[in-house]
A and B are shown apart, each in its own frame.
Chain A
Amino acid sequence: MHIHFLDPFIAGQSAIHRLDPRVKFVLAVAFILTAALTPSGAWPVYVLLFALAMGVIVLSELGVGFVFRRAVLALPFVLAALPVIFTLPGVPLFSLSLGSWGLTATADGVERFVSIALKSWISVQIAIVLSSSTPFPELMVAMRAARVPRLLVSIFGLMWRYLFVLADEAMRLLRARSARSGATGLPGMKVGGSISWRGRVAGGMAGNLFLRAIERSDRIYVAMLSRGYDGEVRDLPLPPLRALHWLVLICGVALLGMLAIFGFLFYG
């Protein structure tokens, strides 16, 4: 079995799928930048950004439910921002007492916390649309257009090519381990060994994976040499951007810029 379901790309024919990856990439980053620039408590701007994200999700035809479910991924990190509710000075809202500890939530703290959570949630939605509507080779086109050095782009490409092969190997290692992780059911036996032993076994599996990866890279290198590789990474030149895509890019950046300025002026 292959774990191709790991690749989040979902083929489609929507306007978002067909948009030039370079434009998509720039707009996604501009969107996230705008969200980041939006001050705490600028609710109208958040609402508009959310509407924009929703519009893009609908336009991408990926399904609102799909994007929302995946967007939960960034949720646990919200814990890191939880303390600001109680530590930011401002108008007190409510108090919690944990034994001798008293915590007082402030309106400013809640505002900051909700703003951070919203920013994060809206941003991750856009990132999901980007990765689910853009196959990896097209993301690499965007990286090249962003002047990422060719060596780094080619490392990305090789990594992607072998990621699924090695993820398969890792999964077979995990299977082989769980197949031998048995218990006799007899009383008085501590099943599972010590934590440090289990950690070292997992490490042995990682070592096994790395070794096979290194040996594989030797074979790949020989195969590349035999096809004329000389250490220099060459690419075909990128095609020019079509007029329509230019238009989308300019309009998108202008719209986001206006939102950013709006938030900055009225709520900063």
Chain B
Amino acid sequence: MLYAPLPMHIPDGFLSVLVSLVLWAATILVVGYSLRRVGQDLGERQAPLMGVLAAAIFAGQMLNFTVAGGTSGHLMGAAIATILLGPWAAILVLTTVVGVQALVFQDGGLLVLGANIFNMGIVGVAVSYFVYRTFQRLANGKPWGIFVGGFIAAWASIFIAALAVALQLAFSGTSPANIALPAMGGIHALIGLGEGLITVGALAFLYATRRDLVTAGEGQVKASSAVWVAGLLIALALAIASPLASAHPDGLEWVAEQRGFLDAAREPLYNVIPDYVLPGIANESLATILAGILGALIVFFIALGVAYTRRKRGTAS
């Protein structure tokens, strides 16, 4: 009710099964590794801290501010989670947030949950970490590194994650790359500014009250250089691939080629089933009408059954 969904959560139906499953596999691998790493780094304190912070990020997404013309900015939280907890725990926190949003609030689908976790959790966190660490190094311990780094990390996490979403839509044949990429990228380049402002505001508050929380991540440089490299690679890959894909949308049409391949494979299978198995159903609209009648009958009988058991329950109690 108070909770406004971001245009970043992909619902079911928008990604092809292949893309969904590949991203599930990637997500499971990374989340599994993160669980192991968190077990080593944070020790036994981990569960309450990550659980409550996940709740805080979810609740923090309610804290909006008006931008202009009825639109408002609010938080996704990948950057602030990365800065407060380090990359591995942040991935788990974002996994929990995105998971609950999908499971309970239908903000994002279930089959595409792997993709949503991948975009907001893994890409968002890796990019945040890469940008933030880079600025920390440049600033060499001076506070501007926290704020400038925080702002750009937050912006980049939104922007790059949006590019990832656009590419996935393009690969799924849902939206052509040359439209999806500039559209998603353009909108989220603006939304990212809101994310950046809120992240800086939150960092300013925490820097003033509990400086140790904001600077705690600095000790983990060596342990997490893999994430830094991953962030760099993701950012680079998407930054290079996106304009290319956008300029040559045909480049993505390997999906279509695959379709042709599948058709070829299906042909003999189709021939195995003789025409007379389902006589008359060659006519497509007739089949649709039949399906409609069958469906209506199913629903009708279920409704009848429910009404009957309800009445029985009513008289029994």
In the complex the two chains form, what is the Cα distance from A244 to B281 in whole Å?
Answer: 35
Residue of B nearest to A28 (CB): B110
Cβ contact within 8 Å between B64 and A202: yes
Cβ contact within 8 Å between B65 and A199: yes
Our pick among B43, B47, B303 for the contact of A58 (Cβ within 8 Å) is B303
Cβ contact within 8 Å between A203 and B203: yes
In the complex, besides A122-B13, A154-B51, A207-B202, 9 extra interface pairs with C-beta distance below 8 angstroms are A28-B110, A81-B174, A118-B13, A123-B110, A158-B54, A159-B100, A166-B58, A204-B205, A210-B60
Cβ contact within 8 Å between B299 and A211: no
Q: Which secondary structure dominates chain A's binding surface? A: helix
Cβ contact within 8 Å between B59 and A169: yes
Residue of B nearest to A7 (CB): B104
Cβ contact within 8 Å between B262 and A44: no
Which of B2-10, B133-141, B217-225 touches A? B2-10
Cβ contact within 8 Å between A170 and B62: yes
Residues from chain A with Cβ under 8 Å of B202 in the complex: 203-204, 206-207, 210
Question: Does A35 have its Cβ within 8 Å of any Cβ on chain B?
Answer: yes
Our pick among B17, B53, B298 for the contact of A213 (Cβ within 8 Å) is B53
In the complex the two chains form, what is the Cα distance from A173 to B198 in whole Å?
Answer: 15
Given contacts A44-B291, A120-B11, A174-B63, contact A195 B68 (CB under 8 A): yes
Residues from chain A with Cβ under 8 Å of B9 in the complex: 77
In the complex the two chains form, what is the Cα distance from A33 to B299 in whole Å?
Answer: 21
Residues from chain A with Cβ under 8 Å of B35 in the complex: 149, 151-152
Which of A46-54, A182-190, A235-243 touches B? A46-54
Given contacts A59-B302, A202-B74, A231-B43, contact A152 B295 (CB under 8 A): no
- How many chain A residues touch B (CB < 8 A): the figure is 109
A residues 158-178 touching B (CB-CB < 8 Å) = 158-163, 165-167, 169-171, 173-174
B binding-site residues for A, Cβ under 8 Å: 1-3, 5, 7, 9-17, 20, 31-32, 35, 38-39, 43-60, 62-68, 73-75, 80, 84, 92-93, 95-97, 99-100, 102-107, 109-111, 169, 173-176, 179-180, 183-184, 193-194, 196-206, 209-210, 213, 249, 262-263, 266, 269-270, 273, 281, 284, 287-288, 290-292, 294-296, 298-299, 302-303, 305-306, 309-310, 313
Our pick among B52, B63, B291 for the contact of A202 (Cβ within 8 Å) is B63
Q: Mark A131-152, 1 if CB is under 8 A from B, else 0.
A: 1000010010000000001011
Cβ contact within 8 Å between B92 and A155: yes
Nearest chain B CB to A27's CB is how many angstroms away? 12
Residues from chain A with Cβ under 8 Å of B57 in the complex: 210
Q: Which secondary structure dominates chain B's binding surface? A: helix
Q: Mark A71-103, 1 if CB is under 8 A from B, else 0.
A: 101101100110110010000000000000000
Residue of A nearest to B207 (CB): A207
Residue of A nearest to B9 (CB): A77
In the complex the two chains form, what is the Cα distance from A29 to B299 in whole Å?
Answer: 21
Cβ contact within 8 Å between B210 and A211: yes
Residues from chain A with Cβ under 8 Å of B287 in the complex: 43-44, 266
